[in-house]
Amino acid sequence: MSVEQTMCKSSLNAKTLAVLKRGGRYSAMDLVRELNVSPFTQITARIRDLRKAKHGCHNILCLRDADGVYRYELIGANNEAA
């Protein structure tokens, strides 16, 4: 991976985390629209990254709605689940 790709990935990690820190539950498609990224798989990859130790060990809850849509919610010091 090039330095440019790593910087882009880190930037998207930070933007994804910033959206999740607002609170609430977001589907991957919500995040795609919010961050204006493509392909869709970039969002789920960034969520996996944010859970890793080198990216902060963020606790991101994944829930599946009745309609089959996965939603993600950040659980942590700034956003405690109710």
Domain boundaries of the chain, sorted by first residue: 3-75
CATH architecture for residues 3-75: Orthogonal Bundle (1.10)
Give the H/E segment covering residue 75.
strand 70-75
- Residue 41's pLDDT is what? 85
- Residue 10's pLDDT is what? 86
* Residue whose pair of structure tokens reads 């998207």 in the numeric block: 12
What distance in Å separates the CA atoms of residue 63 and residue 56, rounded to the nearest whole number? 21
What distance in Å separates the CA atoms of residue 12 and residue 18, rounded to the nearest whole number? 10
pLDDT in tens, the chain (82 residues): 666 666 688 889 999 999 999 999 999 999 999 998 878 788 999 999 999 999 999 999 999 999 999 999 999 755 444 4
Residue 14 vs residues 53, 66, 78: alpha-carbon distances, Å? 15, 30, 15
